[in-house]
Structure 1
Amino acid sequence: MFSRWKAKKEEKPTEAVTRLEIYAPVSGQSVPLTEVPDETFAGGHMGQGIAIEPIEGRLTAPFDGKIAHVVKTSHALILEHPSGLQLLMHIGIDTVSLKGNGFISHIASGDEVKAGQTLIEFDLEMIRSAGYRTITPVIVTGSGEDLPEVNCHYGAVSAGQSSILTVALQQ
């Protein structure tokens, strides 16, 4: 006798979504990326995110993570969250031209950092007097299908206290 086997329909487990709150790395006014006077950022070519017009010259870690990369001139860095999400923080526009003048880095690539820890100090007045904008893009990097859902929160923000981005991470 033959018994009939019913093919069990393989159920695809639903992916769990975790929400990650990213807090302001600088105090100031958060605005859409479209307000950044640089097409690379404004056009979303680097990723999704927000920009902050800083009112003080201190960039802090928005979450616990690892420094994936610090630009040699200390005006930008990439911080990696334990989930693998990477966040680019870029102080000012065209500030690479300052060759590090006005920036003091307190971290190096590979460092583990805690939320609220000072990463880079920068001289707002020096940057402005040199003719550069201090607006600071904060970008969730990624490309193609790997882009997470990012919700932006605009308005006055305080470093380490105000959520600027809510990111839906696929688990």
Structure 2
Amino acid sequence: MFERFKKKSSKVVQLQSPLTGKVIPLSEVPDEAFAGGFMGQGVAIEPAEGRLVAPFDGTVAHVIKTRHAVMLEDNATGLQYLFHIGINTVGLKGEGFTSHVEAGDSVKAGQTLIEFDRDAIKAAGYPVVTPIIVTNGDELASSVEGHTGNVTAGSDYVLSVTLKS
């Protein structure tokens, strides 16, 4: 009889780090579109190495043609994430980036998505900080919480996303 008054429990999804490095709040990214949250909620990582890996089993929704960014969809939740390597790195026209995936590809957690040359990006005058954004969080999430500090790709969590019930 009281079953209908029971509160639905919220599901929390943990996003593993796609990079090894140091997680910082999005507000510290030197780009207003990311720092102001206009692209969505998330965190950013100062990468310690030039390898972006899939943090979950999913589908590649989009690869930017200059290979500096990729969008993945989590097949289990429908959440989409943008991984944007560096700031204004579109100006490199793909130099220093090697994509190992294409739109529509299925990927497994830990699979290399993009390799990038951190030194070449820095030498060209671009920050290497990499925003990680939940692009459809407004539709699917009631909250997105970032975790800061040092992380290892595939073993530490960078985001906790509470799904809407």
Give percent identity, aligned residues only.
Answer: 54
TM-score for the superposition, normalised by structure 1: 0.89
Q: 1:66 aligns with which of 54, 59, 62?
A: 59
Q: 2:104 aligned to 101, 110, 120, which one?
A: 110
Give me the whole-angstrom Cα distance separating, in 2, the residues matched to 1:88 and 1:66. 12
Of 81, 88, 92, the residue aligned with 1:94 is 88
| Native 8 Å contact 2:60 2:105 kept in 1 | yes
Aligned partner (choices 70, 73, 76) of residue 77 of structure 1: 70
Corresponding position of 1:124: 118
* Aligned partners of 2:83 and 2:133 also within 8 Å: yes
Larger radius of gyration: 1
Evaluate the alpha carbon distance shift between residue 149 and residue 96 of structure 1 in structure 2; reply closer, same or farther with a 3 A threshold: same
1:152 aligns with 2:146: yes
Q: How far, CA to CA, are the matches of 1:81 and 1:122 in structure 2?
A: 23
- Kindly indicate whether residue 41 of structure 2 is the aligned counterpart of residue 53 of structure 1: no
The SS at the match of 2:62 is strand
- C-alpha RMSD over aligned residues: 1.9
SS in 2 for 1:34: helix
CA–CA distance in 2 between the matches of 1:145 and 1:71? 23
Verify the 8 A CA contact 2:79 2:137 in the aligned structure 1. no
Q: Secondary structure at the match of 2:11?
A: strand
Q: Which runs of 5+ in 2 are unaligned?
A: none
Q: Residue 11 of structure 2 corresponds to which residue in structure 1?
A: 18
- Per the TM alignment, residue 142 of structure 1 is displaced from its structure 2 partner at its CA by 2.4
Structure 1 gap segments, 5+ residues each: 1-7
Task: Provide closer, same or farther for how the CA distance between residues 69 and 15 of structure 1 changes in structure 2, counting only shifts above 3 A.
Answer: farther
Partner of 1:162: 156
Rounded to whole Å, the distance in 1 between the matches of 2:144 and 2:32 is 20
C-alpha deviation, 1:151, in angstroms: 1.3
